[in-house]
Structure formats: C-alpha cells, structure tokens
Amino acid sequence: MPNNKIEAIFYAYSNNALDHLAPYAYMCQKKKIPCTVIYGEDFVKLKLTPKENIAKIFEDNNIQTCNLASFEKHGFSQIFFSYIWSLAYLIVKSKIFPNFFKKKIQGLINKIFNHIDGETIGRNIANKHLQNSEKVFVFIDGWSRKKKIQNGFLSTMKGRAKIISTNHLPWHFHYSLSIPDPSFCEDIALVSNKWELDAKSFLDQKEITGTLRYTKKWVTILDQYNDKKISLNDKTKNILILGHTELHTSNWKRMMDLFIQLSKRKDIKLTILPHVRGMSNMKPPKELESVWDKISTLDVAVKNSDIVMFWVSSGVYDAVVRNKKVFYLSFLSKIDEKFLWRDNAPTNIVIKNEQELSDALDNYDKNDKIDNLCFEKMIWPDGSDPWMNVSNFLDKYVKIK
C-alpha cells in the first residue's frame, strides 16, 4: 500500500451499507482523495457478495477494495480461516456448483467465523491503514459494537482518524436515540434532515446534507452500469411491491392474499421484490412464483415500474428519486403512526384497505402528476441538492492540502 498524505476509508458490513457509502467513495475519488472500501462482516461470512454494478464503478474509478483475503492476519487461526475463506469465495462465486452446495459452504464459513477473533482482525486492518497515511477519514453508515471486525476497526481508529457517519437509511421515523458512549460513536454526522439533526444532539459536529444515495446524479451513474434494458409497456400498469418480513407486517396472511389477488389482474404486470434479509430467502406460494423476483436489484426493479407499493421499506426512496408513483399500504404497516412524512402525505398516496387500492389502480393514469414532496423532505433538506451539500462538506473537511 503506498504512503498517502490522506486516505478516505469506507467500512461496509452489508450491501445496504455499501449502497449508502458507494456514492461518497465515488465523490471522494473524483476529488482526487485516495479511497479504500472495506468489505466487512456480511461479506466475510459470505452471506452476500458486492453488487456487480457497484463493484464495476469502483474498478473503473480506481477505488481500492479490501476483503478478507487482503486483511492483515496474525496467528494460525486467522491465516487458516483466510485460506478456507478464499476457497469458499471461489465456490460461491462460481456458476459450476449447485446452490445447495454453496449454502453448505456458507454455513461452514459462518461456523468458523464465530470462533475467529474478529476484533483483532479489525484492529490489524486499522493499524495497517494508519501506518500508511498521514490523515485518515473513515466513513460508516453506523457503528455497531456487536459487529466484531467493525468494532475492532473503529475502536482503533477512534482518536486517530475522523469517523464520519452517513446513517443506514433516511431518517423518516419518530425515534429517540439513546446517548452512546463517546468512545464508541462517530466524530461527525452527515444527517439526512432536521429531525436527524435533533436526534443526534449529543454530537458536537453534525451537518445536514441530505442522503447522497438518493440523488439524481447518483441514479444517473448507476444507470450507466445497468446492462438490463428497460422496457415499459405503455398500456400495462407496471406494479412493484417492496416486500418485507412478517416481523414488520401487521397481517401476513392478508398481505399474501392481496398479492395473489393482484397477480390475477389482467391490466397490471406485478413484480414482488423480496429485497430485505429474512424475506429474500423464503419460498413464495406457488401462485406467486412467476411474479416473485429474486434476481433484480432494487434500482433496476424500481426503474422498471410505474407504481411502487410499500408499507415499511426505505427502498421507497429509490422510487422517489426516480419520480415514480408511490402507494403506501398503511393497512399492512405496524408503524403507521411513526413515519415523519405521514401527516403530510397526500390522500392518494395513503391506501387504507384493499378496496381503496383496487380503486386507485383502476383510476391510475401514467400522465398524472406525481406528488412525492412528503418523502422528498426526508432526503432533500429544504429542497437542496445533497450532491452539492456533500461536495461542499468534503471541500471543507476532507481535502488534500
């Protein structure tokens, strides 16, 4: 690793974290700030691999990436695990081996991981980067002390680098944060809106920037790396449902019955995206197999839609930035009263029962004006452009002198 005067490090423990951090890495690199993305816990456990479009963006823009194979390792157990992991990674990525065998391999890696000293691995990664750069900035979506590698990494960085948080999702709930131990929290918070600013009053340094993931600029960049051609039927209403787990659904049977009912309509093309963990691996009912999409990424599925339905998923903001019609199915939500945007949502967005949904679909016209202002306030503070806001922040705090 070359010696750098400055380095920006992005610690992503999951693909959702990676989705939020990737545009910050891209912007830093465009500002000639050397960048490294660390693939953390979920990637180490081989629960998932980085999305192809994000990985290609990193490759094309000379953004360095770091997975377990390139982590600093000490001791027999860590070295042994690294060799086993590298072999398992090739198996999981390969198209030769059947899925059941890949799942067995993933299970084995998870069992071994539970006996590995992740905290030490994290500390070793941090020390290696600190030795090779004069000034380090670490970007995270959040700090969890339960994630062993991340906690070891960030604990070592604390006080020796600036730790900057971007959050895991837009702040769109009525929610109070407990004050964290100062030794285990970020130094600077880039917050999505005024409500998050208030919630993080315990931090001295925080700035309202909006959410970089949900910007026109970033969506345009993602589209350049999307190989799938978008083909929207002008006559058919393309409906996307952002599914969620039974834990966050008020009535699971009612939800499934609704899905089956919608799948029978001749005037719509239904797609159900089980994009959250816990739902993505479940087997759908036989009646829904043809509309259950386990392949498409969230951004591609949203781009292919006319209407996006949800009851809890923050994936709805992908629909907002693409100016899609949104239906919020309040009758399936367990947290209806907690959404910050709820009181200002137009009546044609909030759907209270199946009959209202049926009527809304009957009356939908692709030429209707889209009003998503209630959601836009969550991600675009005072109508400002987060891309410009974050760029200004980087020019002030993370610049090469």
Q: Kindly state whether residues 205 and 244 are assigned to the same domain.
A: no
> What is the average per-residue pLDDT within 188-206?
95
Q: Which positions ≥6 away from 93 have C-beta within 8 Å? A: 49
Burial status of residue 326 (CB atoms within 10 A of its CB: 0-12, 13-18, 19 or more): buried
Q: Are 400 and 33 in contact (CB under 8 A)?
A: yes
Residue by residue, DSSP assigns 309-363 as: EESS-TTHHHHHHTT-EEEEEGGGBS-GGGBTTGGG--TTTEE-SHHHHHHHHHH
> What is the average per-residue pLDDT within 14-24?
94
Following CA atoms 190, 196, 202, 205 in sequence, which dihedral angle do they give, to the nearest 10 degrees? 20
Q: Are 87 and 68 in contact (CB under 8 A)?
A: no
Q: Kindly state whether residues 259 and 339 are assigned to the same domain.
A: yes
Q: Are 215 and 22 in contact (CB under 8 A)?
A: no
In DSSP terms, 240 is beta-bridged to 271, 308
Inform me whether the pLDDT recorded for 209 exceeds 90. Answer: yes
Q: Kindly state whether residues 42 and 185 are assigned to the same domain.
A: yes
- Looking at the chain, the whole-number percentage of residues with pLDDT higher than 90 is 70
Residue 223 is assigned to a structural domain of this protein: no
**54 is in which domain, residue-wise?**
4-215+385-397
pLDDT tens track for 48-61: 888 899 999 999 99
Residue 222 is assigned to a structural domain of this protein: no
Q: Kindly state whether residues 329 and 393 are assigned to the same domain.
A: no
- Looking at the chain, the whole-number percentage of residues with pLDDT higher than 70 is 95
Q: Kindly state whether residues 354 and 390 are assigned to the same domain.
A: no
- CA dist 173 and 150 (Å) reads 26
- CA dist 277 and 42 (Å) reads 11
- CA dist 383 and 54 (Å) reads 27
- CA dist 189 and 212 (Å) reads 13
Q: Kindly state whether residues 269 and 350 are assigned to the same domain.
A: yes
Give pLDDT, residue 99. 86
In DSSP terms, 188 is beta-bridged to 164, 205
From 171, 221, 222, select the one nearest 197 (Cα to Cα): 171
In DSSP terms, 47 is beta-bridged to none
Q: Kindly state whether residues 186 and 294 are assigned to the same domain.
A: no
What's the Cα-to-Cα distance from 66 to each of 12, 69, 223, rounded to whole Å?
10, 8, 25
Q: Kindly state whether residues 254 and 127 are assigned to the same domain.
A: no
Inform me whether the pLDDT recorded for 189 exceeds 60. Answer: yes
pLDDT tens track for 141-173: 999 999 999 999 999 999 999 999 998 889 999
pLDDT band with cut points at 50, 70 and 90 for residue 398: confident
Q: CATH number for the domain including 10? A: 3.40.50
Give pLDDT, residue 132. 84
Residue 226 is assigned to a structural domain of this protein: no
> What is residue 267's three-state secondary structure?
coil
Residue 243 is assigned to a structural domain of this protein: yes
> What is the average per-residue pLDDT within 319-332?
97
pLDDT tens track for 219-278: 999 999 886 655 555 678 999 999 888 888 999 999 999 999 999 999 999 999 987 665
Residue 200 is assigned to a structural domain of this protein: yes
> What is the average per-residue pLDDT within 181-199?
94
Q: Kindly state whether residues 205 and 239 are assigned to the same domain.
A: no
- CA dist 346 and 323 (Å) reads 15
pLDDT band with cut points at 50, 70 and 90 for residue 1: very low
Q: Kindly state whether residues 280 and 192 are assigned to the same domain.
A: no
pLDDT tens track for 352-368: 999 999 999 999 999 99
Q: Kindly state whether residues 364 and 390 are assigned to the same domain.
A: no
Q: Which positions ≥6 away from 107 have C-beta within 8 Å? A: none
Q: Kindly state whether residues 209 and 327 are assigned to the same domain.
A: no
Q: CATH number for the domain including 286? A: 3.40.50.12580
Residue 220 is assigned to a structural domain of this protein: no
Q: Would the CA dihedral through 129, 131, 132, 133 be positive or negative? A: positive
From 336, 331, 324, 375, select the one nearest 356 (Cα to Cα): 331
Residue 260 is assigned to a structural domain of this protein: yes
Residue 221 is assigned to a structural domain of this protein: no
Q: Are 239 and 306 in contact (CB under 8 A)?
A: yes
Report, in this order, helix, strand and coil percent for the chain, each rounded to 5: 45, 15, 40
- CA dist 36 and 208 (Å) reads 25
- CA dist 158 and 184 (Å) reads 8
Give pLDDT, residue 278. 58
pLDDT band with cut points at 50, 70 and 90 for residue 3: low
Q: What is the mean pLDDT of the chain?
A: 91
Domain count, the chain: 2
Give pLDDT, residue 279. 67
Give pLDDT, residue 77. 81
From 302, 281, 300, select the one nearest 292 (Cα to Cα): 281
Give pLDDT, residue 229. 57
Residue 251 neighbours by CB distance under 10 Å: 13
> What is the average per-residue pLDDT within 374-383?
94
